[in-house]
Amino acid sequence: MERQTQGVPDSMLLDGARRGCAESFATLYRNHSGRVYRFALEMCGNASAAEEVTQEVFLALLGEMERFDPSRGNLLAYLLGTARNLTYRWLRREQPFQPLEVDDSALAPECATEASALSRLTEREALDGLRRAIASLPPAYREVVVLCDLEELDYAQAAQTIGCAIGTVRSRLHRARALLTEKWHQEQRKGSMRCSA
């Protein structure tokens, strides 16, 4: 399925960009840069690296626009595939994944009750546990979770992004979910041991 914004399909925007229309390229960037950035961020855990990857993805598109063939797949899969390659290069060059640090305190109202504060703390601990579990997955499993569960791509789009068979995506996702479930249970046991101590 081709992404559209304001009734203009990606293929038309791409054609406009090929003819030199800066607004068409800018619209493609606005339409897809957020998803490319989120993918890179979830894969490497580093905001500045994710920004750099996003910029490099669109520079690559600019340089390869004439060669991009929409009949071979959709633009988002191409962009995420490019982001995947750049992110892996960054991971090999720089350092392993660093879990994201999120400050949820700004979201809390000033007059929160103790019960809602406890609820938010429990929720935050659960989200942090899930982030740690995803971060601890090997990159091949992490990427299918990010693509299919967080970015909500279907198996065919994820397979195109990764450059593998649909069956490979299915099996990796199945294994990744099993690993996440196992890690989640470990996190829960750690949490209950802390509470009983």
Which of 72-81, 95-104, 118-127 ranks highest by mean pLDDT? Answer: 72-81
Which of 116-120, 148-152, 174-178 ranks highest by mean pLDDT? Answer: 174-178
H-helix or E-strand spanning residue 5: strand 4-5
Report the C-alpha gap between 144 and 130 in whole angstroms: 15
Report helix, strand or coil for 108: coil
Q: So what's the pLDDT on residue 181?
A: 87
pTM equals: 0.69
Report the C-alpha gap between 68 and 73 in whole angstroms: 9
Ordered by where they begin, the domains of the chain are: 1-96 (1.10.1740.10), 116-197 (1.10.10.10)
Q: So what's the pLDDT on residue 66?
A: 81
Region 114-141: what's the mean pLDDT?
Answer: 73
Report the C-alpha gap between 129 and 186 in whole angstroms: 10
Tell me: pLDDT of 43 over 70: yes
Tell me: pLDDT of 191 over 70: no
Higher pLDDT, 7 or 157: 157
